[in-house]
């Protein structure tokens, strides 16, 4: 029964939890209706990259709304869409030169779009038997049914499994819990994991249209960076088998890992690249699929029309927000700030500060790249045994952090889809070193409190 004292007309994420009403944001901070301040150490859910309350973005959105709020993409294009698409292709670099961009309202819609583009590409080039999309076992590509069918996140998809099409899921390099007995920082096993993809493609007997992968694992595994050579091998296998490579950079794109897109760390050229979250930094619902020239040309020279559409794709106000965000992050050099390889950068400072958490009793692993990090908790450091999932250890840490005015993003399931606890850290790139030090100190105390409970 719904408790009348906590009744809300909004169908929230939980009927049991209470949610403070958020009222404003500025820089790395959010405030609730009681004027309690929170340091947003996870950029909500790795969304905010440029900081909250940036007036330039609000002004760009208001100007667009005053000029033209909406047209339907079956009737018009808009100057903001045409100009912003060119700017994004330029930001993505040479791999997407001559390609094009499909704008949506977020990550899941963009993944759906990429899946359909992959299928249509194969049909256009005469490969009509190709429709399967292979993905990785511990992955998350969105909440819609199509995106769920290619996601491996057990917790989020289990109930809906009878409603979704199952394709092959392959293994994934997760060095802290590597399935192989590695002594070379998982270099060789990266090739073994890639070989699993080749086996899955061969087993599907010419029916695989695409492979979808998060270049750096986001929420499900928590900021797991693949060993060098893995993604290059995956790309080579896809190319050799006529399978499209879809990079899901919903979380990792637009500078979050210290490169414009995470694939740039390994010089990998996906056929389709999906991005959202940091694209608008949360100022408006926005996602995009970057389409390589190869895929765009197959459709342009074939049937000539992409059989897909949402009422709100290419929404002018969202695009004005995204365009202003891109300009802001370039002017402020925020991708450079997010580069953990760069001495003295914000990301390098964050990495060093988080590394100090290693000594805490329940901290098994601290991993990440750029401004995307995770702290994984274990009941026993020596055996890496996770906490019992019912304890919800990551949730307890996050709650203890909230009490201290710190927001982190807790997740469970990194070990096997059910057990395994971590918190994701993905602050806005405008965070200062003093704010990082304060946040890590609060996180340390929150971990201690969760242990004592």
Give the shortest CB-301-to-ligand PLP separation in angstroms.
30
Of 19 and 76, nearer to ligand PLP (C-beta) is 19
Q: Does residue 108 touch ligand PLP according to CB under 6 A?
A: yes
Taking the C-alpha atoms of residue 248 and residue 173, their distance in angstroms, rounded to an integer, is: 16
Q: Which CA distances in Å does 444 have to 176, 353, 399?
A: 21, 11, 13
Cβ neighbours of residue 47 under 8 Å, at least 6 residues apart?
277, 278, 281, 282
Of 215 and 386, nearer to ligand PLP (C-beta) is 215
Taking the C-alpha atoms of residue 263 and residue 289, their distance in angstroms, rounded to an integer, is: 15
Kindly state the DSSP code that residue 385 receives in the 8-state scheme: B
Give the shortest CB-171-to-ligand PLP separation in angstroms.
18
29-32 and 22-26 strand pairing: antiparallel
Taking the C-alpha atoms of residue 414 and residue 154, their distance in angstroms, rounded to an integer, is: 10
Q: Does residue 91 touch ligand PLP according to CB under 6 A?
A: no
Which position among 25, 51, 106, 253 is part of the footprint of ligand PLP (CB under 6 A)?
Answer: 106
x-or-dash pattern for ligand PLP, window 38-57, by CB under 6 A? -------x------------
Which position among 43, 99, 107, 173 is part of the footprint of ligand PLP (CB under 6 A)?
Answer: 107
Of 153 and 346, nearer to ligand PLP (C-beta) is 153
Q: Which residue has the tokens 């944001």?
A: 25
Which position among 41, 96, 103, 140 is part of the footprint of ligand PLP (CB under 6 A)?
Answer: 140
Of 280 and 435, nearer to ligand PLP (C-beta) is 280
Are the CB atoms for 71 and 78 separated by under 8 Å? yes
Which position among 262, 276, 296, 430 is part of the footprint of ligand PLP (CB under 6 A)?
Answer: 276
Nearest Cα to 39, choosing from 440, 450, 351?
A: 440
Contacting range for ligand PLP; rule: CB under 6 A; set: 174-182, 247-255, 311-319, 373-381: 247-255
Q: Does residue 446 touch ligand PLP according to CB under 6 A?
A: no
Q: Does residue 149 touch ligand PLP according to CB under 6 A?
A: no
Of 140 and 176, nearer to ligand PLP (C-beta) is 140
Strand order in the sheet with 132-136: 100-104, 287-291, 272-275, 244-249, 208-213, 132-136, 169-170
Nearest Cα to 93, choosing from 329, 269, 257, 323?
A: 269
Give the shortest CB-426-to-ligand PLP separation in angstroms.
11
Q: Interface with ligand PLP by CB under 6 A: which residues?
A: 45, 106-108, 111, 140-143, 214, 218-219, 248, 250-251, 276
């Amino acid at each position: 029964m719904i408790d009348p004292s906590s009744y809300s007309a909004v169908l929230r994420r939980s009927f049991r939890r209470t949610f403070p009403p958020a009222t404003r944001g500025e820089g790395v901070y959010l405030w609730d209706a009681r004027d309690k301040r929170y340091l947003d150490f996870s950029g909500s859910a790795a969304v905010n990259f440029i900081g909250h309350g940036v007036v330039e973005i609000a002004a760009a959105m208001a100007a667009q709304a005053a000029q033209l709020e909406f047209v339907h993409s079956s009737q018009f294009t808009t100057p903001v869409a045409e100009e912003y698409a060119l700017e994004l292709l330029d930001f993505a670099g040479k791999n997407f030169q001559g390609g094009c961009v499909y704008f949506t309202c977020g990550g899941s819609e963009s993944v759906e779009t990429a899946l359909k583009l992959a299928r249509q590409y194969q049909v256009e080039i005469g490969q009509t038997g190709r429709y399967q999309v292979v993905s990785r076992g511990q992955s998350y590509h969105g909440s819609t049914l199509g995106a769920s069918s290619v996601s491996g996140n057990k917790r989020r998809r289990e109930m809906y499994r009878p409603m979704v099409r199952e394709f092959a899921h392959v293994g994934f390099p997760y060095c802290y819990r590597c399935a192989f007995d590695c002594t070379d920082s998982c270099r060789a096993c990266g090739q073994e994991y890639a070989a699993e993809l080749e086996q899955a493609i061969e087993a599907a007997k010419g029916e695989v249209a695409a492979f979808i992968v998060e270049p750096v694992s986001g929420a499900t595994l928590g900021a797991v960076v693949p060993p060098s050579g893995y993604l290059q091998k995956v790309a080579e296998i896809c190319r050799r088998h006529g399978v499209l490579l879809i990079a899901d950079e919903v979380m990792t794109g637009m500078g979050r890992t210290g490169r414009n897109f995470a694939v740039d760390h390994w010089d990998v050229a996906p056929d389709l690249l999906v991005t959202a979250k940091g694209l608008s930094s949360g100022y408006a619902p926005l996602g995009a699929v970057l389409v390589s020239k190869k895929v765009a040309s197959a459709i342009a020279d074939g049937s000539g029309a992409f059989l897909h559409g949402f009422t709100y794709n290419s929404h002018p106000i969202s695009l004005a927000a995204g365009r202003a965000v891109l300009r802001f992050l370039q002017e402020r050099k925020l991708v450079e700030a997010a580069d953990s390889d760069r001495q003295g950068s914000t990301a390098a400072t964050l990495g060093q500060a988080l590394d100090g958490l290693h000594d805490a009793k329940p901290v098994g692993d601290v991993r990440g790249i750029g401004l995307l990090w995770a702290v994984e908790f274990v009941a026993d450091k020596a055996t890496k045994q996770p906490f019992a999932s019912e304890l919800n250890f990551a949730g307890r840490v996050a709650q203890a952090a909230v009490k201290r005015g710190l927001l982190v993003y807790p997740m469970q399931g990194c070990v096997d889809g059910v057990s395994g606890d971590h918190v994701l850290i993905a602050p806005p790139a405008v965070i200062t070193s003093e704010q990082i030090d304060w946040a890590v100190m609060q996180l340390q105390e929150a971990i201690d409190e969760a242990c004592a409970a």
